[in-house]
Amino acid sequence: MSAIAATPEPPYYAVIFTSLQSDQLEGYGETAEAMLSLATEQPGFLGIEAAREGVGITVSYWRDLQSIRNWKQQADHREAQRRGRSDWYRAYTTRIAKVERDYSFPNPI
Amino acid sequence: MSAIAATPEPPYYAVIFTSLQSDQLEGYGETAEAMLSLATEQPGFLGIEAAREGVGITVSYWRDLQSIRNWKQQADHREAQRRGRSDWYRAYTTRIAKVERDYSFPNPI
């Protein structure tokens, strides 16, 4: 997933998820991979970027707020969120943001 | 900088900068450090989060669009952007987004 997401013309939405892991990471890797794969299948999903270096940053891009709400409520994702809070994350912040403008180098995305 | 930014109540703005480095990184580290330090001194700066793992993701938070414009035009920052395009980055995308909502675990940020 080491790529820059190829998103359409704004406006669209970004979910910025910033997290600090706990030291209790059993099951994290396989769930993270499953959730990544599941996210890409959701209606309104546009792309995702992720990196972890101390702090983890995952930015997923969505067509609209309703797509984000639906993904937040998706059953397997809800269970993953529950395990995130009970086991894997010491802290996280989720920010919902409307992308108003973007530009790229060297080419338009 | 391995921390979750402590931002105020929305609305505020996020600049999501996603990049792929080139293999020509001479001078990158010291400039990145200088720009980080300089950004925190700008009017309207609210916080920053960054991680690189293949792709680099830096999210900076700002009070309003004018603060973002001013920072984009700041002289030393313009020079750093120029070197970024000529030397350090293979590709990047910058997205300007208005944060409409946020929530945190375990505590409010």
Residue A6 forms part of a structural domain? no
Residue B84 forms part of a structural domain? yes
Mean pLDDT of the A96-109 span: 88
Reading the block at residue A14, the tokens are 């970004």
Q: Give residue-wise pLDDT tens across range A48-74.
A: 999 999 999 999 999 999 999 999 999
pTM of the model: 0.96
Is residue A24 scored above 60 in pLDDT?
yes
CB contact under 8 A, A50 and B57: yes
Using pLDDT thresholds of 50, 70 and 90, give the confidence band for residue A1. Answer: low
d(CA A55, CA A47): 21
Residue B104 forms part of a structural domain? no
Residues 22-81 of A with CB under 8 A from B: 49-57, 59
Mean pLDDT of the B78-94 span: 96
* CATH number of the domain that residue B17 is part of: 3.30.70.100
Q: What is the ipTM of this complex?
A: 0.95
Is residue B99 scored above 90 in pLDDT?
yes
Residue type, A94: T
Domain count, chain B: 1
Residue B65 forms part of a structural domain? yes
Q: Give residue-wise pLDDT tens across range B9-48.
A: 999 999 999 999 999 999 999 999 999 999 999 999 999 9
Residue B55 forms part of a structural domain? yes
Q: Which of B14, B52, B92 sits opposite A105 (nearest CB)?
A: B92
Residue A48 forms part of a structural domain? yes
Bond from prior residue into B106 cis (ω within 30 degrees of 0): yes
**What percent of chain B clears pLDDT 90, i.e. is strictly above it?**
95
Give the best residue of B36, B59, B93, B94 to mutate against chain A (max A CB count within 10 A): B93
Range of the structural domain that residue B52 is part of:
12-99
Q: DSSP secondary-structure letter at B3?
A: S
CB contact under 8 A, A2 and B54: yes
